Amino acid sequence: EEEEEEEERSENTMTEDKSSLPFRDAGDPETVPSAPITVVSEWTDCRTSGGGCKDKALIFTMDSIQSRVDESKSGGASGEITIRLALQNGLGNLGVESIVARSDAQFESQNMDDFKLIFLDPWTWAGRGWKLKAFLKAHTRKIFLLDFFGGDGHESLNGIVPLDRHLTAFPVHPANRFLGYYIDDVVVDNAIALTKENRGVIWGKDPKYFKGKEKI
């Protein structure tokens, strides 16, 4: 039974294979390969396409932190990773190379002048006291927030990064901008090919959310 459970987890987990995704880490240049990488299926890497990369985008979100990526192999922030990878794919199609920071240190070591766009999330923009990190103040016009569920933002940030630059996976908040996400055609085709039973699935992160709703 344990082997079956482990196999099921591995089949349903979103992981990042650095050899096959359209971005590179913002790590030590000696440890990050600069050669073009091979991308899977329809994912686009502007470094290997005919047009090349015209600009760069810096991405630093909680789900890009290496420990969170590792945790996603057994659950974790797989949904947020899916949205971020979809963004990176879209940027690649537009000729924009994504540089992904894996830690605060990697993020803070970047030269913000090198980037046309900066993508953060509701946590990584803030320094102490929930104030915008000092080195970002000269680059506020470049900043977008990936906010999975959307919302009203934060009072310390809204005057700097307006709510229409908060990008959501679903059109859930009228003031935010609906980004959506990309799913590989192979995944869709495999889902369509499955034999379906007349039932649905309700999925929550904690049983407490279902208390009092058993009849529903």
pLDDT per residue as tens digits for the range 65-102: 888 888 877 767 778 888 888 898 888 888 899 999 99
As a whole number of angstroms, the distance between CA 200 and CA 194 comes to 14
Show the CA angle centred on residue 41, arms to residues 90 and 27, nearest 5°: 60
pTM: 0.70
pLDDT band at 182 (very low <50, low <70, confident <90, very high): confident
Counting residues of the chain whose pLDDT is more than 70, the rounded percentage is 76
Does residue 145 register a pLDDT over 80?
yes
Q: Which of 48, 45, 54 is nearest to 100 (CA)?
A: 45
Spatial neighbors of 14 by CB under 8 A, at least 6 apart, are 72, 78, 79, 81, 82
pLDDT of residue 32: 32
pLDDT per residue as tens digits for the range 32-59: 332 222 233 344 567 666 667 889 999 9
Q: Which of 50, 58, 54 is nearest to 23 (CA)?
A: 58
Does residue 21 register a pLDDT over 80?
no
pLDDT band at 8 (very low <50, low <70, confident <90, very high): very low
The answer to whether residues 196 and 202 touch, using CB atoms and an 8 Å cutoff, is: no
The mean predicted confidence, pLDDT, of the chain is 77
As a whole number of angstroms, the distance between CA 150 and CA 153 comes to 8
Does residue 157 register a pLDDT over 60?
yes
Task: Please give the full DSSP string across 43-106, using - where no structure is assigned.
Answer: ---TTTSTT---EEEEE--GGGSHHHHHHGGGSSSHHHHHHHHHHHHHHHHTTEEEEE--SHHH
pLDDT of residue 188: 75
